A and B are shown apart, each in its own frame.
Chain A
């Protein structure tokens, strides 16, 4: 045998054996083996001891930790800014309602006391019924707001306390007094001598106004701080309270609250009208709605003038703040405001024109309605015209800028001031027509009176338009100053025409009867629409007043360092405002429902009528 072959065969056999052994061990390694523990490692593992040491260390650190006052805290699902915004605005809305309703309830009761007409007394009581629950909601939202501020903005809240703590005791004392007056006024209806009851009503109003004045000082200080050093230290407490915008905001809110309260009370009447079962109920709630709306629109007409005063003071405090408001980031907000106010004017006039239908002999005035509507539509369009147009690049090139070649001239202050003054005058004329429908003056000078009123209306309109046109040819300072004679001429014109009308219609012959309750249902939805629009407007103006501070808690004194220190877009702001408005109406619906319970029969006494004389004030109805 060849020895070489033998050697090769031996090598192959050896390799084969080696491979078989390798495969065996490989398979053996993959088979299951029970775990084998090292006793040495197990006994020496310090896990439990380590855990004890960690816990001990943590406890020691916790005990040694120093207290650090937080500057901000946050909420899990909503930003601090939005949470405070929503609650503050709801508090303000209920507060406005609670402050406003007693004002016109008191005046209506006073009228009833002097003319002896019991309907006025009943109407005043009906308005007052809305107050007690609203007062509780105001206080609840106020408490909620305070807790939110302490929780989310502790450093800022501490700073405000540093400045205004001296006002807290008077504020609380006034709140107790307000509760005393308000509940005595409500529960004491018909239980006291009318003069005593009227004095209680006066007390509610005086104390309520003082409460508002104190709260306004806190809010206005945040926008236009006074009485503090550059570093924010308190120097003069009274100057902090009586800061630049304190009185303008007091006046603006005083008038605005009446307009807002009147519109919500009118919405209540509209709600009751729509659900009324009898003609008598419909007549009563039609009248109530008319009175509420009359209060709202009467207060609404001078509101822009109070707004001018406030804006002027903002400019006076800091021009950059004023420019930011009217010419900067917030300028487009006033286009939204124009849409709201335009709608208010349209709706208020429409309601008055519909209201003429309940009076016999209305035809002589209804023929003018189309002209009034045209004037309102034109003024509305002018007021809502923006200074610069949103346009594509090609459109901007074609226009030679963002100003529209024809409409650009309407987007300036001269045109807008003129438009709003004419709107006010037109609405006033609608009211004058309504007031005169169904009456024929019997005084000898009636023709002259009419002619003078006519001259005043056209004279004032011409003067306002002439000043508006003149504004295009003068410098800015003069142009701004022109708004004052425009406003004054409109106010004087309205007062003069009212005085002439009052004397002219004394002892006027009644040519047609007023049929309260004979009004289409749409008129009541118009009243509710007016209330929604007023509420929305209040939310919008609340936003601009507060948002104007931008990234400052207290403008120029205390900067907002939180994650919410940015100013949101107008689109986002309008979404928040709508949420606030819907929540407010959900709450106010509850107030309406509670007030309505008073008229329902007692449980178990179905068919026996409402509690009537058992309820407050029943004796005087």
Chain B
């Protein structure tokens, strides 16, 4: 029996759509939730700051979307392994805390040779880390090849007043 053209066309349209829907189910399924706002206590120890900093780096900060840790070869963005040590000597006259703070508040002030600028300013939207979160991120960055020395009481030039 010959199928009517209209039925063939309906089957083709629905069948093709179902096939593409099926392809869509085969890829990894991940739902992205907005970053949760976490209140950071003012009396965190530096060790606690490192842990909180790593959470911020993975989630709200989106840092690991671009940066890698311990990867070599032709990289698109600087690898973060050993940055805690390198930060001490990157810029003459600037200690590691202030260098790392500058790279977060003013990413294009110093661009690592061999890479292009363009990293988003971290304390402004869309990422918009708070000053406390940035202190924790600095603690975590210091822990990569160095010894964390930043505290919650550390003041940085770009911190919001009050």
Contacts and interface: CB of A to CB of B under 8 A. Distances in A.
B23 interface: yes
Nearest to B119: A319
A471 B158 CA distance: 40
A42 interface: no
Contacts, number: 127
Contact of A575 (B14, B21, B62): B21
A332 B31 CA distance: 13
Contacts of A274: 5, 8-9
Contact of A320 (B17, B28, B66, B74): B66
Contact of B62 (A320, A479, A536, A574): A320
Query: For the complex, would chain A's binding face be called helix, strand, loop or mixed by DSSP majority?
Result: helix
B13 to A, nearest CB: 5
B74 A569 contact: no
Interface in B63-98: 65-66, 74-76
B120 interface: yes
A318 B120 contact: yes
Contact of A556 (B31, B116, B126): B126
A570 B27 contact: yes
Interface stretch (A334-342, A373-381, A489-497, A596-604): A334-342
A377 B120 CA distance: 40
A566 B32 contact: yes
Contacts of A560: 34
A567 B30 CA distance: 9
Contacts of A525: 8-9, 12
B161 interface: no
Name, among B16, B25, B119, the residue most crowded by chain A CB atoms within 10 Å (CB to CB): B16
A474 interface: yes
B24 A336 contact: yes
Given A551-B34, A566-B33, A582-B13, A339 B124 contact: no
Contact of B124 (A230, A323, A333): A230
A123 interface: no
Interface string B28-64: 1111111100000000000000000000000000100
A565 B12 contact: no
- Range of interface residues on chain B? 35 or more
A193 B16 CA distance: 45
Interface in B86-144: 114-116, 118-120, 124-127
A308 interface: no
Interface stretch (A173-181, A285-293, A511-519, A526-534): A526-534
B18 interface: yes
A557 B125 contact: yes
A550 B20 CA distance: 23
A86 to B, nearest CB: 14
Given A328-B65, A569-B29, A578 B17 contact: yes
B32 A556 contact: no
Contacts of A555: 126
Contacts of A230: 124-125
Nearest to B14: A582
A475 interface: yes
Contacts of B17: 532, 536, 578, 581-582
A380 B57 CA distance: 37
Contact of B13 (A323, A532, A565): A532
Interface string A572-595: 011101100110010000000000
Contacts of B124: 230, 556
A271 interface: yes
A477 B116 contact: yes
Contacts of A568: 31
Nearest to A561: B34
Nearest to A558: B125
Given A319-B66, A477-B116, A532-B13, 11 more contacts: A271-B5, A319-B118, A324-B62, A332-B27, A332-B28, A335-B27, A476-B76, A525-B8, A532-B12, A574-B23, A582-B17
Complex A-B, nearest 4 residue pairs according to Cβ-Cβ distance, in ascending order:
A574-B24, A551-B34, A476-B76, A567-B32
11 contacts: A339-B23, A340-B20, A477-B116, A528-B12, A551-B32, A556-B124, A556-B125, A557-B125, A567-B32, A568-B31, A582-B17
